[in-house]
Amino acid sequence: MQVENDDNDDLTFNFSGKTVCVTGASRGIGREIALAFARDGAHLILTARNAEALEPVAAEIRALGGDATCLSVDQRSVETIRSQIAPLGRIDVLVNNAGVEEVCDTLDIDEALWDKIVDTNLKGAFFVAQAAAAKMAGFGGGSIINLASLTSFVGVPGAVPYSASKSGVLGMTRALAAEWAPKGIRVNAIAPGYFETDMTSVFYENREWVAQMVANIPVGRLGQLSDLTAAVEFLASSGAKYVCGHCIVIDGGYLAKI
């Protein structure tokens, strides 16, 4: 049965006076999360490989009455990560969203593809978290939300490097939470289910595949990007002050069913 989406947007948070850094914010999930925080009063620090690609998002934020700083950060370069984040002031929230995915037959994976995906999604996420945590520790704490995946829990053929990186993100989230909680830094994650974005659009070109996926999602539809933002903002908020080291799966019940 197809279930209609409930567009009740009356759930709001207050991040006035807070600085939120969102990586990979030029499009898709990152863009949607950045706009949600802007609507709720936060100052945004946006990162992407190409800072110019962030300008349309920054313009949307300014149109909402907010403000945004755009940074060019290559997730695969630790030097770039550190040099861009070190000069910043206070960071209250980090949404570690930047990532890449490429579907490939496992027998055809080469070292370059493995390094591209794992270095971006896992190594880069760690060093961004490290740089942000150094800021947070000096201001009494903060919140880090990492982007995990359903592939952190289940295997997907053709996505071995991605699955490995996102399984690593889940393990990293738990380890950082255990180590940094005494510093006042809460580390959690979300794991989006099936959401169509620029990065995953190749899957959604196959309408038969889409129909099969929807048939296996208890709520009866694919995810919409707006479904993610409240969970991220909750984890960043004082309402989640005792939530640490967890991953919220946002998948319409898909994992619960299988």
- Is residue 194 among the annotated active site residues? no
Sign of CA dihedral 210, 216, 217, 219: positive
- Cross-strand pairs, 185: 142
The 10 Å Cβ neighbour count of residue 230 is 15
Q: What's the Cα-to-Cα distance from 183 to each of 213, 233, 237, rounded to whole Å?
A: 41, 21, 17
How far apart are the C-alpha atoms of 143 and 194, rounded to whole Å?
A: 25
How far apart are the C-alpha atoms of 79 and 74, rounded to whole Å?
A: 9
Q: Which of 162, 194, 242, 254 is catalytic?
A: 162
Q: What's the Cα-to-Cα distance from 191 to each of 167, 203, 223, 232, 247, rounded to whole Å?
A: 11, 18, 12, 10, 7
Which residue numbers are catalytic? 162
